[in-house]
Structure 1
Amino acid sequence: MQKRYEIFADYHQFYLWDHGEMPDTALDYSEDDLRRRVKTAPFLVVIQPERNMSVPVELDIVDAPPDEALDLWDHVVEASLDLPSGRLEIHECTGGSIDILSVAPGTYRVRACFGGLTTLTDDRLDGEDHYRLILWPAPSAPLAVIKHYADPRL
């Protein structure tokens, strides 16, 4: 399954969560969380885009880990997400629900790919940044930064 969205990333974040659990998103953030650009909590993965604007997001739900060239992306992180209800919800931070997708109940791995980060203007309001999220069934595992991007302007 493949979907495309324009998601308003107010406060530089949007959420993937289990619709049946409706987890609390009032989380404390560390400097490490901000550098990783992804934060997790039970039943929740927070994606932290670079712009505080609407951003293009592609979502793929697949059966197995993706075999994709990571050199196409600036930053790549993987995290686990428990979806016991079998209902994946994509939700804006200050907006509402974007979509609710039916999946097999269970634990998934989420690969968050961040591209076009070098195109951002100095005020970080404009750019060609784009995001791809890939989910597949997998046992729970710690959050892992696969490829790290450090903005040379910061």
Structure 2
Amino acid sequence: MDSLDLELFADYHQIHLSDDGSAGDLSEAWTDQAVVDRLAVVDDAMAIGTSVNVTVAVRVDVLDTPPVDDSAGYDHVVEGSMQVRSGRIVVMGCTDYEPDAARVRVPVGPVRVRAASSNLAEAERLGVDSDESPQTMERLRVQVWPAPSEKPVVLKRWDGESGLLQDR
């Protein structure tokens, strides 16, 4: 399993994943439902919504098989699919300079991505100051594995106003 740990600026409340060389335009993918679900998807790219508009801790794990369901340990968990033609995905904040962005090797073909967010209550409480300490920073774990394309699904929903709401 390959892993990558990053701290990325979640400008416009989003982190982007894309096939290396993708020209995918996510602007039209941010529907009202995508905003609520915190996931916008096009063929070979996706944007994961964040609670804060500052730096977040991001961990990317590339897996051979689907991960176990450990959503109980996270605040918001969503899955989506994307095509990877290059064998690498780019991981970046939405306004980062793509040529300098981190890349991670993944299987060629359709992949499933599970994005699990944690520490959202503390990050939302502190807002722009949340990235001043690892204890208060929003954390995002991204797991990627080969799988047939499927529609996005929210496995666990976070509602910042009232706490956790389960989708299942």
Q: Do these two structures clear the TM 0.5 threshold for a shared fold by scoring above it?
A: yes
Alignment of 1:72-111 (within 5 A): 72-97=73-98, 98-111=101-114
The CA deviation string for residues 102-122 of structure 1, in whole angstroms up to 9 with x for no partner, is: 322111000000101111344
Segments of 5+ residues of structure 2 without an aligned counterpart are 131-135, 164-168
Residue aligned with 1:33, SS: helix
CA distance in 1 between counterparts of 2:124 and 2:105 reads: 37
| Residue 136 (structure 1) aligns with | 145
Give the drift of 1:123: 6.1
> Aligned letter for 1:75?
H
8 Å CA contact retained: 1:86, 1:102: yes
Query: What are the Cα deviations for residues 74-100 of structure 1, in whole angstroms up to 9, with x where unaligned?
Result: 110000010012121113211123212
Report what 1:119 is aligned to: 122
Question: Relative to 1, partners in 2 of residues 1:82 and 1:124: Cα closer, same or farther, differing over 3 Å?
Answer: same
* Equivalent residues of 1:74, 1:147 under 8 A apart: yes
Greater helix proportion: 2
User: Identity of paired residues, percent?
Assistant: 30
2:121 alignment partner, SS class: helix
Counterpart contact for 2:107–2:145, Cα < 8 Å: no
Q: Secondary structure at the match of 1:6?
A: strand
Within-5 A mapping of 1:2-151: 2-27=3-28, 29-97=30-98, 98-122=101-125, 124-125=127-128, 126=130, 127-151=136-160
User: Deviating runs (4+, > 4 A) in structure 1?
Assistant: none
- Alpha carbons 2:26, 2:41 under 8 Å: kept: no
| Greater mean alpha carbon deviation, residues 12-21 or residues 2-11 | 12-21
Query: Quick one: distance in 1 between partners of 2:79 and 2:124?
Result: 27
Tell me by how many angstroms 1:4 deviates: 0.2
Aligned mates of 2:41, 2:86 — CA distance in 1: 18
For structure 1, which runs of at least 5 residues remain unmatched after alignment?
none
Count residues with an aligned counterpart.
154
TM-score in terms of structure 1 length: 0.91
Distance 1:28 1:22 in 2: 14
